[in-house]
Chains A and B, each alone.
Chain A
């Protein structure tokens, strides 16, 4: 399982060139670990839901925690792996007009778009951190009968968005250093 998201989808420029500097390798390694954990979480969520059907039907046991547990697992998997997806530029956008731009303008556009994405994701990460802090301090629990503490999903959301912001920051820096000065890569 050495490739993270490499083997998937159309070929995208390698992230090494996208994000130079010392952090990029560490982030790539972290993303690989996250992808493995998120894959496990996804399969675990499927298992939990299957378990819930089985125990309810065969053992007539009431099910209360399974849905929420799966929600936590999947929310965590989605937010945590968003940086790995961004590293491969896997968050799709509308490319219809972009393709018509001359390469140089397009590079500038890419950097601007990354800056705007970074601004949004960083803002979201910050708000989500405030939410997490509030949930810990005030000890928020979910309203269900199981009532798990809400810092669990909130912390995964915060960490995921923070990781995504770091990824975008590296891509902005990469775009500024290699994209604008040297030969275009795309």
Chain B
């Protein structure tokens, strides 16, 4: 059988098994195993368990449960409400300040929790009722929270980015930094839109008020004393300290990204114990079980996705497809548009983690050959996947919103979210026109990138940190002109060749 027909068969069987509703982890593992049995030497089937273990047993990947733990600890405390309350108090004089405060609260919370649904429910459960009380239309309020929540997969410590760094063999520290500029851009766009839309709603409400005398809450000025503002500060401060402390540990070279995960989780648990008195086993149980549930589900998908892409690489499906795409000799931007469209379509069905691990070996080599910076692309791809979190049909965040504000009709939520999808597209366009938005900051902190295995730390930093920070993967076999195969393949193939 030719590589092409095996590849087609692989793709089609995956689709069929996935749509049967089989859990994603088992579906990927089962398809990979069947193809191993049929098309690969028996000795490779024997290594399936070892393969999955060795792929998973990387401390970078296994930092994911710890980031989830940190997010769950913060998400289950009252931190979200407090953060939101303080921002609102400080920004209420800005026109549309309430909406802007919600956007900022989402961004800050996302940076602490690293999870999109957690951000939506933590900020939204306080923010949406408050905005609606002040006369914001339900769809608009929902849109702000749904879109703000997606920043969770863009801002560090985003789980999506961790996986991208592993799949694309890029420095995680650099990727985290590269996301900060675009995240700031998105926050600015969201906030500007919130202010503009607020102004429009307020003018409309005033016109109605003058004509019919119907009073809208949008017209009521809110009053908060300086005392209120100061009272709220101490509750937020510890979390800001946690956030900056972790960032300093990471970029100051004191801790590796995975150590940061452990440190962040421990600090978050200590903070919620001290501030919110969440420390008894009974209090901690929901946090820990939620963490375990999400981590186990996610890590099994990750492990099996890695097995899946290993098989794809062993059978040369990914390399052939990648070469085929390169041979099409599309212009750079057509190629990028096609790849992003592909990611959008996959986003209808698959969670970001599977999209990254399954497609990286296929889409990254052509992009690299076309001269795209893979760090930059990681940021763009993440924003595209953010869109997938809020656009129908799947739109995970839409369901979270539906959960916390069941009385806003889904149609209103979707209409409220669409302008934000447009703003995300605009930000992708801006990133294409000015790639520096993403790469400038990471280059400024870590020195300019020199390809896949660049040293992410500036020159004067200590050697151990350099070694820990960006482990250079063993060079993969050359596939045509493309240096991109699954790292494990070469090892296993070598194993099979030797007697």
Given contacts A52-B259, A91-B300, A153-B53, contact A116 B30 (CB under 8 A): yes
Q: Would A91 and B69 count as touching, CB distance under 8 A?
A: no
**Interface readout for B1-40 with A: 1 if CB under 8 Å, 0 if not?**
0000000000000000111111111110110010000000
Q: Would A45 and B66 count as touching, CB distance under 8 A?
A: yes
Q: Which residue of A lies closest to B49 (CB)?
A: A128
Given contacts A48-B262, A49-B66, A74-B62, contact A93 B22 (CB under 8 A): yes
Which chain B residues lie closer than 8 Å to A128 at the CB level?
Answer: 49, 53
Q: Would A124 and B29 count as touching, CB distance under 8 A?
A: yes
Q: Would A97 and B62 count as touching, CB distance under 8 A?
A: no
A61 interface residue, CB < 8 Å from B? no
Which chain A residues lie closer than 8 Å to B393 at the CB level?
Answer: 96
Residue of B17, B48, B255, B289 touching A4 (CB-CB under 8 A): B289
Q: Would A43 and B269 count as touching, CB distance under 8 A?
A: yes
Q: Would A7 and B21 count as touching, CB distance under 8 A?
A: no
A167 interface residue, CB < 8 Å from B? no
A74 and B295 CA atoms in complex are apart in Å by: 10
**Interface readout for A80-98 with B: 1 if CB under 8 Å, 0 if not?**
0110111010111111111
A81 and B20 CA atoms in complex are apart in Å by: 24
Residue of A1, A42, A53, A75 touching B285 (CB-CB under 8 A): A1
Which chain A residues lie closer than 8 Å to B20 at the CB level?
Answer: 98, 109, 112-113, 116
A122-136, CB < 8 A from B: 123-124, 127-128, 130-131
B339-391, CB < 8 A from A: 349-351
A90 and B291 CA atoms in complex are apart in Å by: 12
B426 interface residue, CB < 8 Å from A? no
Residue of B17, B49, B254 touching A53 (CB-CB under 8 A): B254
Given contacts A7-B286, A70-B62, A131-B50, contact A85 B293 (CB under 8 A): yes
Q: Would B49 and A91 count as touching, CB distance under 8 A?
A: no
Q: Would B292 and A77 count as touching, CB distance under 8 A?
A: yes
Q: Would A49 and B263 count as touching, CB distance under 8 A?
A: yes
A178 interface residue, CB < 8 Å from B? no
Q: Which residue of B lies closest to A88 (CB)?
A: B293
A15 interface residue, CB < 8 Å from B? no
A53 and B266 CA atoms in complex are apart in Å by: 12
Residue of A85, A96, A110, A127 touching B297 (CB-CB under 8 A): A85
Q: Which residue of B lies closest to A124 (CB)?
A: B49
* Shortest distance between the CB of B27 and any CB in chain A (Å): 7
Residue of B33, B285, B292 touching A123 (CB-CB under 8 A): B33
A3 and B296 CA atoms in complex are apart in Å by: 18
A131 and B288 CA atoms in complex are apart in Å by: 31
Q: Would B62 and A75 count as touching, CB distance under 8 A?
A: yes
B255-274, CB < 8 A from A: 255, 258-259, 261-263, 265-266, 269
Q: Would B349 and A94 count as touching, CB distance under 8 A?
A: yes
Residue of A52, A74, A130 touching B46 (CB-CB under 8 A): A130
* Shortest distance between the CB of A157 and any CB in chain B (Å): 6
Residue of B266, B293, B351, B394 touching A46 (CB-CB under 8 A): B266
Query: Size band of the B side of the interface?
Result: 35 or more
Residue of B49, B350, B394 touching A157 (CB-CB under 8 A): B49
* Shortest distance between the CB of B289 and any CB in chain A (Å): 5
Which chain B residues lie closer than 8 Å to A75 at the CB level?
Answer: 53, 56-57, 62
Q: Would A153 and B262 count as touching, CB distance under 8 A?
A: no
Q: Which residue of B lies closest to A40 (CB)?
A: B288
Q: Would A7 and B289 count as touching, CB distance under 8 A?
A: yes
A146 interface residue, CB < 8 Å from B? no
Which chain A residues lie closer than 8 Å to B338 at the CB level?
Answer: none
Given contacts A42-B65, A120-B33, contact A93 B262 (CB under 8 A): no
* Shortest distance between the CB of B301 and any CB in chain A (Å): 8
Which chain A residues lie closer than 8 Å to B62 at the CB level?
Answer: 45, 70-71, 74-75
Which chain A residues lie closer than 8 Å to B350 at the CB level?
Answer: 94
Q: Would B29 and A153 count as touching, CB distance under 8 A?
A: no
Given contacts A74-B65, A78-B65, contact A39 B292 (CB under 8 A): yes
Given contacts A5-B292, A8-B289, A49-B261, contact A94 B53 (CB under 8 A): no
A17 interface residue, CB < 8 Å from B? no
Residue of A3, A119, A153 touching B57 (CB-CB under 8 A): A153
* Shortest distance between the CB of B465 and any CB in chain A (Å): 10
* Shortest distance between the CB of B415 and any CB in chain A (Å): 22
B237 interface residue, CB < 8 Å from A? no
Q: Which residue of A lies closest to B351 (CB)?
A: A92
Which chain A residues lie closer than 8 Å to B25 at the CB level?
Answer: 91
Which chain B residues lie closer than 8 Å to A93 at the CB level?
Answer: 18, 21-24, 27
- Identify the 3 closest CB pairs spanning chains A and B, nearest first: A49-B262, A91-B23, A128-B49
By a beta-carbon cutoff of 8 Å, the part of chain A in contact with chain B is 1, 3-5, 7-9, 35, 38-39, 42-43, 45-50, 52-53, 57, 67-68, 70-71, 74-75, 77-78, 81-82, 84-86, 88, 90-98, 109-110, 112-113, 116-117, 119-121, 123-124, 127-128, 130-131, 153-154, 157-158
By a beta-carbon cutoff of 8 Å, the part of chain B in contact with chain A is 17-27, 29-30, 33, 45-46, 48-50, 52-53, 56-59, 62, 65-66, 69, 249, 254-255, 258-259, 261-263, 265-266, 269, 281-282, 284-286, 288-293, 295-297, 299-300, 349-351, 393-394
Q: Could you show 8 A-B contacts with beta carbons less than 8 Å apart?
A: A7-B285, A46-B265, A53-B259, A71-B58, A77-B295, A78-B299, A84-B292, A97-B19
